[in-house]
Amino acid sequence: MVVTTDLLLEGRHFRLDWSSGYEIGRKAAAQNLSDIVAMGATPTALFVGLGMPPHTTIDWLDALTDGFRDECALVGASVAGGDIARSDTIVLGVTALGDLAGIAPITRSGARPGDQVAIAGRLGYAAAGLALLSAGTATTRAGAGGARGETKGWVGGSFPVDSFEELLLAHRRPEPPYAQGPRAAALGATAMVDVSDGLVQDLGHIAAASGVGVVVEPAAFRVPAILVEAARYLGVDPLDWILTGGEDHALAAVFPPEVRLPPPWQVVGEIVQGQGVQVKGRAEAPGGWDHFRG
């Protein structure tokens, strides 16, 4: 068995005027289920601690639980219990369990020099969606804090939200590549992590736990057209979203050099002697999300 736990705080991980109750339920489940598959396990159950204000509506709660149900259904898991308390804001504490089926867990400490670093899943989409929302305004169909409504309106006042709906939805409801966690274990992954705080930041966890260095090759990334378009609108480099953006919950794994990786796995770097993460062509590796960084 493997276990993981995570927190989602209103105003820190989600906003009620940007995400519906259903989307928050999907997101809360996804970020915990992703941690389970990143250890090579199959998710089995979630336990949910919920703090909420007394004015929270039944409709919003129904939508939240529907979101948990639908995300869990993707991996055959379920919500097995939890607790509820009164809180000034909405707080979600989720604990997830997973079954290893007799195999050893994939940890962050197994990387060795010469191994290849690969990713599966989207990178940069959630960060781009957050940047777009932060740059403008948006409302929900059901009103602020809507239960089931999806975010609609205008961003930055110059184009419809529908232009970048895929990016906005990625921020509100990630799509982890669940099947690729156990598949990576079967392929012989030596270390793995889900990308929640940014690729460079999370590869840094593998580097520290394994006592190695990581070299990332920027040219290995295929930058999707929608990221290029959004970056042009905001005047930023889309590669920064890919390298440092969190909450897409892609998987980053390390494999022996002789393993031939099938799609959707994409090799983006290698393990070397040393420490930390180096991005080729950049004097200093960009950081990711850190709750306590100024």
**What's the token pair of residue 292?**
């306590």
82 is in an annotated binding site: yes
**What's the token pair of residue 53?**
């204000």
Given a contact cutoff of 8 angstroms between Cβ atoms, the answer to whether 169 and 129 are in contact is yes
CA nearest neighbour of 232 among 152, 159, 162, 138: 159
CA-CA distance, 239 to 166, in Å (whole number)?
18
CA-CA distance, 231 to 127, in Å (whole number)?
11
Task: Count CB neighbours of 58 within 10 A.
Answer: 8
Task: Give how far Cα 55 sits from Cα of 58, 60, 177, 222, Å.
Answer: 9, 10, 36, 46
Residue with tokens 């669940």: 178
- Interhelix angle for 165-172 vs 225-234, to 10°? 90
88 is in an annotated binding site: no
CA-CA distance, 240 to 197, in Å (whole number)?
13
158 is in an annotated binding site: no
CA nearest neighbour of 170 among 156, 153, 150: 150
Task: Count CB neighbours of 62 within 10 A.
Answer: 15
CB within 8 A of 294, min separation 6: which ones? none
6 is in an annotated binding site: yes
5 is in an annotated binding site: yes
71 is in an annotated binding site: no
CB within 8 A of 163, min separation 6: which ones? none
194 is in an annotated binding site: yes
CB within 8 A of 258, min separation 6: which ones? none
56 is in an annotated binding site: no
197 is in an annotated binding site: yes
Phi/psi of residue 28, nearest 5 degrees: -60, -40
Binding-site residues for Mg(2+) = 4-6, 35, 83, 194, 197
Binding-site residues = 4-6, 13, 35, 82-83, 108, 194, 196-197, 247, 289
Binding-site residues for substrate = 13, 247, 289
Binding-site residues for ATP = 82-83, 108, 196
